């Protein structure tokens, strides 16, 4: 059983206190999904990359500030989601227009 914990910690599925890392699990699932797709559309790939960049920036900022306020974090995440929705909609519209030509 100790070997299983060490493997899960190596893969960062659980942390040192044996807490499940949902962020890392969702990242792994998203990577597997993108790798399994026969064709990766630009909108999905850009949304994934934007999410990763936002997550890394948040981690770095939290490291410098010593933590974040949950209300501010939710507000920032909602703004990021709205921005991604707008970009994804624009990409989908562009691909639909290009497909009709």
Q: Which of 33, 10, 13, 35 is nearest to 23 (CA)?
A: 13
The string of pLDDT tens digits covering residues 23-36 is 778 888 888 888 88
Q: Which tokens go with 90? A: 């624009």
Please tell me the predicted confidence (pLDDT) of residue 64.
65
pLDDT of residue 21: 77
- Can you tell me the distance from the alpha carbon of 28 to that of 71, in angstroms, rounded to the nearest whole number? 27
Per-residue pLDDT, 35: 84
The yes-or-no verdict on residue 101 having pLDDT over 60 is: no
CA distance 39 to 98: 17
pLDDT of residue 69: 67
pLDDT the model gives residue 67: 53
Could you give the C-alpha distances from 31 to 4, 40, 52, 67, in angstroms and in order? 22, 12, 11, 27
Domain boundaries, the chain: 1-36, 39-101
11-25 pLDDT, tens digit each:
778 877 778 878 778
Per residue in 54-80, pLDDT (tens digit) is 878 877 776 766 555 667 788 888 888
Tell me the C-alpha distance between 23 and 51, whole Å. Answer: 12
């Amino acid at each position: 059983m100790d070997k299983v914990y060490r493997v899960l910690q190596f893969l960062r599925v659980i942390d040192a206190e044996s807490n499940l890392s949902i962020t890392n699990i969702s990242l792994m699932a998203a990577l597997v999904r993108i790798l399994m797709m026969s064709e990766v559309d630009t909108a999905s790939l850009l949304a994934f990359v934007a999410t990763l960049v936002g997550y890394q920036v948040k981690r770095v900022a939290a490291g410098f500030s010593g933590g974040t306020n949950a209300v501010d974090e939710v507000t920032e995440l909602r703004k990021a989601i709205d921005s991604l929705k707008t970009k994804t909609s624009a990409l989908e519209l562009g691909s639909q227009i290009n497909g009709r030509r």
